Chains A and B, each alone.
Chain A
């Protein structure tokens, strides 16, 4: 069964304290892995798309990496404005459709 698991569920960091969020997936025929940021009461904001193992992408304090079984979202020296829920999703799977399979997200809180 195609599945996406994110950990931890919640993460509290001090400003400047770097950390990583994990996204483990089991899907046959991965077409893409996506990271989104969602603020309360808003739609998800696109961050990264990763297509193959070994690929890395960076944007400001965020860096996403991909292996054959998991992806990490590294947050370097986070700021309070980085507080949000980070969602991981994969595309592909048994039926090779366009739909995304989402994890349950990691709620990140960064304190000053």
Chain B
């Protein structure tokens, strides 16, 4: 168990458009989900922590109005990149932890390219 999926795996969009990325825990309920971004040859940088039914907590320097997070159920969180620009191009990865467990299980990631 502990499978996390992301959709889409790849997205290319024009500058100024919005992109939504879904993160689902397939075989467990996740009270908490996390969103990361990763630049080439760098480690993961946490963007925000998402709790089901409440507002996300954003890390310092992450624009909450640009990266909208919704955690509507115990198995689904979404990240919407609004008015995307080329500098938003990156690898976005979500993770989820089972209720009562510290271990985070990661999704396969979504590659975003903004032209």
Which A residues lie at the B interface, using CB under 8 A? 31-32, 34, 36, 41-46, 49, 87, 91, 97-100, 102-105
CA A81 to CA B35, docked complex, whole Å: 28
Query: Could you tell me if A104 and B106 are in contact, using CB atoms closer than 8 angstroms?
Result: no
- Interface residues as binary, B76-115 with A (CB distance below 8 Å gives 1, 0 otherwise): 0000000000000001010101000011111111010000
Q: What 6 A-B pairs come out closest when comparing CB atoms?
A: A43-B106, A43-B109, A44-B106, A102-B43, A32-B102, A104-B43
Query: Could you tell me if B102 and A103 are in contact, using CB atoms closer than 8 angstroms?
Result: no
Which B residues lie at the A interface, using CB under 8 A? 2, 4, 6, 32, 34, 42-44, 46, 49, 91, 93, 95, 97, 102-109, 111
Which A-chain residue is minimally distant from B34 (CB atoms)?
A: A99
Decide: A98 near B102, CB < 8 A? Known: A41-B111, A103-B43: yes
CA A52 to CA B42, docked complex, whole Å: 28
